[in-house]
Amino acid sequence: MKLEQLLKDSTVAIFKEEFNTEIATHTVTINITKKEHEGDYTIVVFPLIKFSKKSPEQTAEIIGTKLKEKNKIVASFNVIKGFLNLSFTDAYWANRLKEIADSKNYGSFALNGQKVVLEYCGPNTNKPLHIGHLRNMLLGFSMSEILNAAGYDVTKVNIYNDRGIAICKSMVAYLRYGNGSTPQSTGIKGDHFAGDWYVKWNEKAKEELQTIAGTKGDFDEDQKLTELFKETQEMLLKWEAGDADTMALWNRMNGWVYEGFQKTFNLLGVDFQKDYFESQTYLMGKDIVEEGLQMNVFKKRGDGAVVIDLTADGLDEKVLLRSDGTSIYITQDLATAELRHTEFGMDKMIYVVANEQDYHFKVLKLALQKMGKNWADGIYHLSYALVESPTGRFKSREGKTADADDLIAEVLRIAKEKTKELGKTEGFSDEQAIELYKTIGLGALKYFVLRVNPYKKIIFNPEESIDFHGHTGPFIQYTHARICAILRRAAEIDLTGFQNLHNLAAIERELIILLSEYENTISAAAEKYDPSEVANYVYNLAKTYNKFYHDFPILSAVTDLEMKLRIELSKQTGIIIRKGMKLLGIEVPEKM
C-alpha cells in the first residue's frame, strides 16, 4: 500500500466521520516535509478548511489526532499554520527498506499493455551528426528507457533523410573531385567523408559564382546559377528516374554514411528496432490525401494544391500536396504515421524533434484527428530547444559547427586526463582504464544534456561545460563506486533482520524516503516526457547518500543491527543509482 494513498484515503474517511462531508481524494495534497521542519510527509490543510469549517490549525489538529489513532505507523505530528507535518515510526521506515530490498522489480512497472512507437535521431545522410542530434538521441533513448520502466512496450525507430538535393551535392562533388577515394583509403569516418564532399560542393559553388555576373548576394538563390547546381539537379532527376549508375553511387555513399553513424550510435549506446528511409516514403501519401478529400476534411484549392483549413484551431491554411500533385514533408509524415499504425497498432507515437517543428507537428496531429483517426490522440511531439554556443546558435555556415563525434572525443580526452591526474586507474588493466574513461566521459556529457528540461535551451561551451564535480554525472558515478567499495568489504556479512532496528538517524530516514520515491519519479518522468526528472532525482539521492556516508560509520557502526541496516541502505541506494542512471543511458562504474 502506497503511503500517500493511505494518507489520502484516511483523510477522506476522517472528513466523513468528523465533519460529515465527502471530499474528493485529490483535494488532499501531500508533500515531502521541508527539511527545516520536523516530519516526513506534510498534509496541506488550507484546501480542506472550507469542508471542515474550522480554522486551519484546528482542522490540522483534528486530522493529525485521528490519523495517529487510526494508523499506528504515525509516530507523531505537529501543526504549523495550515501545515500538518507527520512523522512515521522508525519501524515503518525500516520495514519500508526491507520491502524495497525484497521486491525484485522495484522501479520497473508491470506491462500496462500499451504500445509506443518512439521516433528519434532523424539524421540527414549528407552530413555528420551534430550537437543537436546528440541532444535528440540522448533524450530519445532515455525516454524509451523510462517508458519501458513505466510499463510501456516501446519500439524505437529512426528515419533517415537519405534523398534529395543535398545528398546529390555530395555525390556530384565526389564524382568530380573524389578520384575514387574512399573512407577506407583516407581513414575518414564514413559520415564525415560524405559530409566533406558536401562542404566541397559549397566551396566550389562559391568559386564558380565569382565568375558569374548578376548574383544577388544570397547564396540560396545564387547557387542556382552555377553549372555545378545544374549538374546536381540532373543528378537528382536521374536518381528519381532510377538510373542505375546514380543509384549505385547513392547506395555506395549512403552505405559509408550508415557505417559512420553506426559507430557513433554504438559509442553512445543508442539503438533502433526499425529504420525508415525517406527514399522509400517520399512518394507515399497520395492515398491518405485522397481519403481526406473524400471525407471533406481536406479540400482542393483553385490551383490544384490540396490544403487543410486550420484557421479555426488558431493555425493557418496548410498545403498538404503540391499543385503538381507531388508530396511534401507533411504528406510523407501523414503517410508514415498511418503506415506505422498498421504495422504496430501503437497507442502512443512520440516524435523527438527540435522545437523548430512545433507548428508542423500540430498540423500533423490535427489533420489526422480531423480524419477521425482516434490513435492520433496518442501523438506526442517531444519538442526540445536548441543547443547554443555561448555566442549564440551553432551555425554550420559560420564554421561554428559542433560536431557530435568531435565533442564526444573531447569529453573522453578530458575524462582520461582528469582520471589519470587523480590516480584513479591504479591497478586497472589498459582495457579497464579505457573503459573507465569512456564511462566517465560519456556520463558527464549525457548527464549535462539530460539534467535540463527539454524545452529549455542549453548553452554549451565545450571547454567549460564538462565538469566532474558537483551536479554532474561523475559525481553520481563516484557515489556508486564508493558504495561498491563498501559492499565488497561487506560481502560476507549476513544482513538478515536489519529491519528490526527501530531508531533511525534523520539522514537514514531521509534516504529511505528518497528510495521510496523512486517509482513516483519514474511515473512523473513518463507522464511529463521528461528525463530531467530522473536526472535530478538521482542527483538528490547521491548527494543525500554522500552526507550520510560522511557522517556515519557503516562497517564500524556501534551495534550489529546498525551496521546491517546501513549496509542494506547503501546497497539499495547503489541499486537505485544504477537503475536510475540506466534510465538516462548512463553506466556506473564499480571503481573509480
> Which CB atom, from 80 or from 209, has the smaller least distance to RNA?
80
> Which CB atom, from 102 or from 220, has the smaller least distance to RNA?
220
> Which CB atom, from 203 or from 313, has the smaller least distance to RNA?
313
> Which CB atom, from 183 or from 562, has the smaller least distance to RNA?
562
Give the separation between CA 181 and CA 72, rounded to whole angstroms: 78
Phi, psi of 454 (to 5 degrees): -55, -35
What one-character-per-residue DSSP string does 9-70 give? HHHHHHIIIII-----GGG-EEEEPPTTSS-SEEEE-GGGHHHH-S-HHHHHHHHHHHHHHH
In the window 260-299, what residues touch RNA (CB under 7 A)? 278
* Strands 74-80 vs 83-88: parallel, antiparallel or unpaired: antiparallel
> Which CB atom, from 29 or from 181, has the smaller least distance to RNA?
29
SS3 of residue 363 by DSSP: helix
Q: How far is the CB of 48 from RNA (least distance, A)?
A: 9
List the one residue from 58, 114, 280, 357 that touches RNA (CB under 7 A): 357
List the one residue from 126, 246, 264, 536 that touches RNA (CB under 7 A): 536
Kindly list the distances between the CA atom of residue 475 and the CA atoms of 237, 469, 485, in Å, as whole numbers in the listed order: 54, 6, 16
CB 519 within 8 A of CB 513: no
Q: How far is the CB of 110 from RNA (least distance, A)?
A: 23
Sheet bearing 317-321, strands edge to edge: 299-300, 306-309, 317-321
What is the three-state SS of 54-118? CCHHHHHHHHHHHHHHHCCCEEEEEEECCEEEEEECHHHHHHHHHHHHHCCCCCCCCCCCCEEEE
CB 535 within 8 A of CB 450: yes
> Which CB atom, from 237 or from 485, has the smaller least distance to RNA?
485
List the one residue from 469, 492, 494, 558 that touches RNA (CB under 7 A): 469
Q: How far is the CB of 551 from RNA (least distance, A)?
A: 7
Interface characters, 492-531, with RNA (x: CB under 7 A): --------------------------------x---x---
List the one residue from 293, 486, 495, 561 that touches RNA (CB under 7 A): 486
Sole window of 44-52, 96-104, 176-184, 267-275 interacting with RNA (rule: CB under 7 A):
44-52
471 belongs to the binding site for RNA (CB under 7 A): yes
List the one residue from 66, 189, 192, 482 that touches RNA (CB under 7 A): 482
List the one residue from 174, 475, 498, 518 that touches RNA (CB under 7 A): 475
Give the separation between CA 411 and CA 445, rounded to whole angstroms: 7
Query: How far does the chain reach from its first CA to its final CA, in angstroms?
Result: 38
Sole window of 59-67, 268-276, 541-549, 574-582 interacting with RNA (rule: CB under 7 A):
541-549
In the window 113-142, what residues touch RNA (CB under 7 A)? 124
> Which CB atom, from 183 or from 441, has the smaller least distance to RNA?
441
> Which CB atom, from 80 or from 561, has the smaller least distance to RNA?
80
Sheet bearing 392-393, strands edge to edge: 392-393, 387-389, 458-459
CB 229 within 8 A of CB 223: yes
List the one residue from 69, 99, 203, 356 that touches RNA (CB under 7 A): 356
CA-closest candidate to residue 272, choices 352, 148, 157: 157
CB 344 within 8 A of CB 115: yes
Residue 194 cell numbers, joined? 560524405
In the window 160-189, what residues touch RNA (CB under 7 A)? 161, 164
In the window 67-106, what residues touch RNA (CB under 7 A)? 80-83, 85
Q: Is the CA virtual torsion 508, 514, 517, 518 positive or negative? A: negative
In the window 214-243, what residues touch RNA (CB under 7 A)? none
Q: How far is the CB of 263 from RNA (least distance, A)?
A: 23
553 belongs to the binding site for RNA (CB under 7 A): yes
In the window 359-418, what residues touch RNA (CB under 7 A)? 359-360, 385-386, 392-393, 415, 418
> Which CB atom, from 183 or from 340, has the smaller least distance to RNA?
340
List the one residue from 218, 324, 430, 431 that touches RNA (CB under 7 A): 324
Q: How far is the CB of 47 from RNA (least distance, A)?
A: 4
Residue 439 cell numbers, joined? 564511462
Q: How far is the CB of 456 from RNA (least distance, A)?
A: 5
